[in-house]
């Protein structure tokens, strides 16, 4: 006599069904956690200029800082300046240096400066 008996097909069906339900539950739980982590991420921001600054700002560098083209109209330059300045304003934890460079970039793009450099 054997102490261990093999399960027949009719006896193993509930076991397989239970394993399938458990696997589906774990997969669903993982999917919900992954979706919540995905939703909690900050929105992907458009990348702006990441390089160091040149000693004298050029129109190309100003356009890169503001995230616009060199031929952008004045109203779009003002919108871009506002968007970048809101993200980097000193009152909101930003740097005075970056704020001055952003303002210098706007002035350069609007033709209001001679490229004299920032106050810093």
Please check whether residue 51 lies inside any domain of the structure.
Answer: yes
Same domain, 51 and 89: yes
85 and 32, same domain (yes or no) = no
Tell me how long the chain is. 120
Give me the domain span that covers residue 81.
45-120
* 97: number of Cβ within 10 Å: 14
**Within this chain, do residues 61 and 31 fall inside the same structural domain, yes or no?**
no
Q: Residue 15 has what pLDDT?
A: 84
pLDDT for 7: 66
- Residue 3 placed within a domain: no
User: What was the pLDDT predicted at 113?
Assistant: 65
Co-location of 24 and 54 in the same domain: no
Domain total of the chain? 2
Has residue 1 been placed in a domain? no
Same domain assignment for residues 17 and 59: no
Between CA 48 and CA 36 the distance in angstroms is: 28
What is the structure's pLDDT at 11? Answer: 73
- Are 25 and 65 contained in the same domain? no
Please tell me whether residues 79 and 108 are part of one structural domain. yes
3-state secondary structure the chain: CCCCCCCCHHHHHHHHHHHHHHHHHHHHHHHHHHHHHHHHCCCCCCCCCCCCCCCCCCHHHHHHHHCCCCCCCHHHHHHHHHHHHHHHCHHHCCCHHHHHHHHHHHHHHHCCCCCCCCCC
What confidence score (pLDDT) does residue 92 get?
85
Same domain, 35 and 56: no
- The domain spanning residue 90 has which CATH number? 1.10.287.110
Listed as ranges, residues in the chain with pLDDT below 70 are 1-7, 9, 43-51, 113-120
How many CA within 13 A on the CB side of residue 54? Answer: 14
* pLDDT of the residue at 40: 83
């Amino acid at each position: 006599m054997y102490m261990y008996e093999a399960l027949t097909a009719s006896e193993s069906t509930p076991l397989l069904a239970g394993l399938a339900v458990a696997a589906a539950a774990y997969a669903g739980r993982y999917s919900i956690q992954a979706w919540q982590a995905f939703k909690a991420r900050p929105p992907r921001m458009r990348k702006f200029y990441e390089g160091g600054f040149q000693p004298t700002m050029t129109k190309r560098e100003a356009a890169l800082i503001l995230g616009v083209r060199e031929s952008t109209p004045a109203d779009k330059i003002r919108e871009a300046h506002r968007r970048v300045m809101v993200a980097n304003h000193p009152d909101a934890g930003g740097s005075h240096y970056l704020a001055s460079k952003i303002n210098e970039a706007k002035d350069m793009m609007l033709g209001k400066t001679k490229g004299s450099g920032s106050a810093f």
